[in-house]
Structure 1
Amino acid sequence: MKRDKVVVTRRIPGQALELIEAKAEVYLWDSEEVPIPRHVLLEQVADASGIYTNVSDKIDKEVFDNAPLLKVVSTMAVGFDNIDVSEATKRGIPVGYTPGVLTETTADLTFALLMATARRIVEGADYIRQGKWKSWGPMVLTGQDVYGATIGIIGLGRIGEAVARRATGFGMKILYHNRHRRPEVEERLNARYCSLEELLQASDFVVLLAPSSPETYRMIGEREFSLMKPNAIFINTSRGRNVDESALYRALCDNKIWAAGLDVFEEEPIAADHPLLSLPNVVALPHIGSASIATRTKMAVLAAENLLAGLQGQKLKHTANPEVYDSV
């Protein structure tokens, strides 16, 4: 009996690849950093039953049209805005994703980015490497205090709550804005729900953790930056599309806000000559929120388990479009 073919669009941890290879024929785009070329993807999915993808791959109608045998799409990510989920649903194809396993690791990175930006860690390291450190100076590389400051979290989901827990250890006042109030978190972490406008005006640190959707597209732009304190620090570890990057650049240049820490960008990878990267008060990272060895391995294995369940006609552990099962 011929085994199902699976297209794996990037090199993944061996533990996950072995799980897939035990059950299916695998085409692997064996690169650590370079995404699978579009023409190769379209060619390889022609006889594929499964696609194991990631945030760099656009899985759209064209891909689905070229994959008549497709049973399942599984992404090694908590977000799935790179996949046309509605198109998959029309065709009865479940889309798997990997929530939960990356929560704490991404919260760690978010708080590390917050602290690095506040205390100018990257600037300080560069200051030494560039031979600029001549003597101790009272105001050299002075930053912003974290302990006791006010943090405003936009999007209090799993990761937002985990960031709030870390903030309690720094004695921070916690504000949040979310689609729905979370009274249990308010009580447990002494967090206060408020409007987006109030959060922006009152926070020393504005942390964006909202999901990517049509409603959140460029939800933080010129108006929102104008409401922030001049010493406010903006952190984004959600999705780059949630921010108007031109407005952010202008806000930083015009001293409307103090600094920004970014792990995500509207276009990834961000160009090395992007204006934001020219600013000393921007700490930019290459989308490494979940990038610990343990967490990436867990994500890869969960994505493999989702994929294999789909190939076998079983329900996925985590499905972005559970409505595909309604007619079963």
Structure 2
Amino acid sequence: MSKPVIWITRTLSAATLARARRDYDVIWNDADTPGRAADIIAMSGQIDGVIPCHSEHFTADVVAQLDPRLKIIANHSVGVDHCDLPALRSRGITVTNTPGVLSDATAELAMMLMLAAARHGIAGDSLVRTGAWDAWSPALLVGKQVTGARLGIIGMGGVGLAMARKARGFDMKIHYHNRTRLSPDMEAGAIYHDDLDDLLAASDFLSLHCPSTPQTKGLINARRLDLLPPGAVLVNTARGSLVDEDALLAAIETGHLAAAGLDCFDVEPGGNPAFAKHRNIVMMPHVGSATMQTRDAMGAMALDNLDSFFRGETPANVV
């Protein structure tokens, strides 16, 4: 019996590629470039399934042109904002994701961004790296202390919970806003805010961990940034669309925000060039889940979802 044909759109981990080639007929281009709309449409007639990343966009227009042969999109990501889910469902195409396995890695990067933003990581590195550090002063690069500060978390899913666990190691006081309140054992002493505006007023640091949806687009806008305490720090390792970037720049330039740590942007790849002149904005190129262990785990989960589907079962991570 012939194996299902799957398309792997980007360069996944070696373990993932080896397992995929063992169990499937794999189409993979090691050029590692994003699949464009025309590529996705053309490839759909040659494959039974695809493992895409958030760089491949299954818009309603693309979905309408997909060949009926394509039956499953097994995303190598937890976010599915690059997929028009109603359009895909209307075509009978199963969509899965990889929740849970990237929570710790993404929370680690959020902690890195938070600490680097709070303690002038970019400015300090530049001072030493360029040879400009020629004196010391008690006033040199005085930052914002993380220990004991209030951390507001928006979205207490897997990544938000992992962030809270790590922040407790810095004796931070955890506040959170979520669609539903967690059970007391999951809260572990965190303070729930039913109203997002109330959370913002209690956040010396604010970390975003909610999905990108039509309801959350521009969630952090000028009005909400004003509700943060003066000198607050914003961290975003979720999706760029959550933040009004013009409002963020204005808050940085007025000094209302002390700093920001960003792993995602409205425009990707590339980011926002206007951020580059601000050394109190720490930036990474959307690599929250980029550890070897997590990449292996994400690939394994995507393949588990494919395996279940092609056995005639419902995959564990259908969205």
What residue number does 1:324 align with?
none
In the superposition, the TM-score normalised over structure 1's length comes to 0.92
Residue 76 of structure 2 corresponds to residue 49 of structure 1: no
Alignment of 1:125-140 (within 5 A): 125-140=125-140
Q: 1:187 to 1:51 in 2, by over 3 A?
A: closer
Q: CA offsets per residue over residues 222-259 of structure 1, 9 Å max, x none?
A: 10111112210000111111111111111111112111
Q: CA RMSD in A?
A: 1.6
Match of 1:275 in 2: 274
Structure 1 residue runs of 5 or longer lacking an equivalent are: 321-328
Higher relative CO (Cα under 8 Å, sequence separation at least 6) belongs to 1
Tell me what 2:90 maps to: 90
1:186: how far off? 6.5
**2 CA distance for matches of 1:67 and 1:259?**
47
Residues 131-150 of structure 1 show CA distances to partners (whole Å, capped at 9, x for unaligned) of 21001111111110010111
Q: In the alignment, does 2:123 pair up with 1:123?
A: yes
Which one-letter code corresponds to 1:50 in the other structure?
G
Distance across 2 between alignment mates of 1:172 and 1:248: 24
Report 1:202-217 matches (<5 A).
202-217=202-217
Equivalent residue runs for 1:101-250 within 5 Å: 101-185=101-185, 188=188, 190-194=189-193, 195-250=195-250
Q: CA deviation at 1:200?
A: 1.2
CA contact (8 A) 1:225 1:251 kept: yes
Contact 1:17 1:304 in 2 (8 A): no
Q: Whole-Å Cα distance in 1 between the matches of residues 36 and 96 of structure 2?
A: 22
Q: Figure out how many residues of one structure are paired with residues of the other and give that number.
A: 317
Alpha-carbon contact 2:36-2:56 (below 8 Å) kept:
no
Distance 1:167 1:37 in 2: 39
Indicate the residue corresponding to 1:289 in structure 2: 288
TM-score (norm 2): 0.94
Instruction: Provide the rounded CA distance (Å) in 2 between the counterparts of 1:209 and 1:298.
Output: 20
Q: Could you tell me how far 1:203 is from its partner in structure 2? A: 1.4
Where does structure 2 lack aligned partners over 5 or more consecutive residues? none
Deviation digits for residues 103-157 of structure 1 (CA, Å, limit 9, x no counterpart): 1111111111111111112221111112210011111111100101111111111
Indicate if the aligned counterparts of 2:96 and 2:305 stay in contact, CA closer than 8 A: yes
AA matched with 2:144: Q
Paired residue secondary structure (1:46): coil
State the 1:31 CA deviation.
Answer: 3.0
SS at 1:151's partner residue? strand
Q: CA deviation at 1:185?
A: 4.6
Q: Distance in 1 between matches of 2:62 and 2:29?
A: 16
For 2:103 and 2:168, locate their aligned partners in 1 and report how far apart those are by CA, in whole Å. 17
After TM superposition, the runs of 4+ consecutive aligned structure 1 residues lying more than 4 A away are none
The reply on whether 1:318 has 2:317 as its aligned counterpart is yes
CA contact (8 A) 1:27 1:44 kept: no
Percent identity between matched residues is 37
